[in-house]
Amino acid sequence: MDFDEAADALYAAPAAEFIATRNELAKQLKADGDPLGSTRLKALRKPTVAAWVTNLLARKLPDELDDLLALGDEFREATADLDGERLRELTPKRHKLLDALAKQAARLAGDEGQKISADVGQKLRETLDAALVDPAAGDAVREGRLSSALRHVGFGVVDENGEPSNVTPLTDERRRAARDRRTAQQRVETETAKEKQDAAQREQEEREAAERAKAKQALEDAVAAAQQAEAKVEDLDTQLDDAREALSEAQALVHRLGSELDEARRAARDAQKESREARKRYNRL
């Protein structure tokens, strides 16, 4: 085991076991014939909680962290080109990626039994943002050996005590790989958005077709109801005409019978009068 391997193992150990792990690894380096490496290892500081969580993120999600650093490259290129439109496009991606990494880091820490306070969460986000803004901060974060959270202060990278931070350069190959992943991710997001748009359009077309079918059925039902109503009106008109005709015939019959009754009454009166006169003539005989 050399110093770098020992340092990586040390900062990968649980925070509560840092001192014991450092002593054990330093002893092993010395036993392996590397007293200088043992001395250097003993000088490494125990990470703060924010630094420990950042180191955990660098070990567990190196690809996602490389994506953050690649996005920082895009920001610097857009800034150098004075490309305001590109910067406005990158800004929401910056916030989205920082939010996602902060949540993932909190989840990873929770899996290790470490709760993240609001102060630690803020320092974690500042560290990640510094990694995006400044290549030196990005290299320090990517190394996974932070002992303190980082901040970008306008002239470089400092830790929580304001001291310069050691960095390990990030290779061009890894930067290109991160950029390729971001391009692939953007392509997937674009395809997903198009699929969602197509699905929404199909749903809209299906809803419109269903509404048209419903409206057509309603029209057909209304036409049928109107036809039934018209048929009923015609039937009632016919019945009314028949009733009126029957009423007219009945009124004519009443008038005729009335006239015949009057005539019969006159004839009866005349017959009674003739009968009385005949009786009188008979009595005189």
DSSP secondary structure letters along 142-165: HHT--SS--EE-SSSEE-TTS-B-
Is there a domain that residue 102 lies in? Answer: yes
pLDDT at residue 154, rounded to an integer: 64
pLDDT tens, residue by residue, 206-251: 888 888 888 888 878 877 787 887 778 777 777 877 778 888 787 8
Is there a domain that residue 251 lies in? Answer: no
pLDDT at residue 59, rounded to an integer: 94
The domain tally of the chain equals 1
Query: Residue 32's domain spans which residues?
Result: 3-192
Which parts of the chain sit beneath pLDDT 50? Answer: 167-170
151: which residues sit within 8 A by CB, 6+ positions away? 126, 127, 130, 157, 158, 159, 160
Is there a domain that residue 157 lies in? Answer: yes
pLDDT at residue 167, rounded to an integer: 47
Is there a domain that residue 160 lies in? Answer: yes
Is there a domain that residue 48 lies in? Answer: yes
Structure tokens at 118: 């609001």
Whether pTM exceeds 0.75: no
Closest-CA residue to 7 (of 45, 57, 63): 45
168: which residues sit within 8 A by CB, 6+ positions away? 139, 140, 142, 143
Is there a domain that residue 132 lies in? Answer: yes
276: which residues sit within 8 A by CB, 6+ positions away? none
pLDDT at residue 128, rounded to an integer: 95
